[in-house]
Structure 1
């Protein structure tokens, strides 16, 4: 297997991992990566683990996705590690009109373009990275920087109709709102210790559990459908 992992393979993977400055470059690098993995054993184009992807959508867009039951996609990066998805690109997005979500999918047959996690776990590939990497342009912005840190799997999906919204993300209320809530609940002013605790909890990122997210969808989606229908 060692001969499969030549300099071109390492360079193509490194180029993908260092990202792209435009959709056109991203598409070209994704296409090159797909070609490279077609030359590798099928094992590296399979994934039997649940994969996660964090995205940011404008307010209400996630519910529109559920109504349409589809979201056009190109080749995109997913991870087998939920905690990595939660912290991707800084974690939860701060914004009044933006909503962070984590999608989860069991990759359908034939959808896996590249399982970088499996590849990086191959000792022979690690040897190739060590051998060819330092000679590759921008290597230390790509494979030399990320390696297997993101436990990445690339999927090619026509849509996300089989994908569930796994978790919603957001931020806790600001201090003033939390203090007002405290007063309403306990009918008194918070003392210094309680104020300190409130300050610690204010403006903090959170991700709902899978169960909590499904409860939100069950509660809010019908109201959103009614609002859209009655426009």
Structure 2
């Protein structure tokens, strides 16, 4: 049957009240036992709980420390690895640049050597061409002897070139002056009235040389004739150099 209520609350039956009272008494007894001072179990319980909790805390703290240490070790290893890789890369780049610079220097040196060799070859070729041209000119000069005009000026100049080869002194002025006095510039002039003519050896040619003197002082390479103007000048100048030092020193009959 329904439990009668009072003022909105249910009213406990006798049975319910007895049950509640028993539960309350049992709870109070248990509570009184738990807090009674001097109880061995009551004194040991907190210590046991503390002792059992300490190793767990220490173990937890050790685990955390180990994890942190392992993490730091791994980070340090990775940083060292990266640093080593960067160093190796920098070293490789430096070696590459050094090798490139060495190759560039080698190439420059090679180009400079090639340019120098080319310049030396060009210079040698130029010198060789100049020498060959000089040799050709010399050869042409040897093949074609120097030409002199067939007059008094040409005779004197040709005679002086021969005299130079034989170290015979005499200037153009000294030779010309004596020729004009002796023969007037006539290579066929002959003296048939002086003492030489009376002795059978007349003076002949531009510088009026007698036969014995001409034969003695004749210079090889000239014609063997007193009438030849060049041969006459060279022989007379050779004689004057032997007797007077030079034709320049002759101012009268000699």
Q: Shorter-chain TM-score: what band?
A: under 0.3
**Whose relative contact order is higher, 1 or 2, with alpha carbons under 8 Å and at least 6 apart?**
1
Between structures 1 and 2, the one with greater helix share: 2
Length-normalised TM-score, structure 2: 0.21
TM-score calculated relative to the size of structure 1? 0.22
Larger Rg: 2
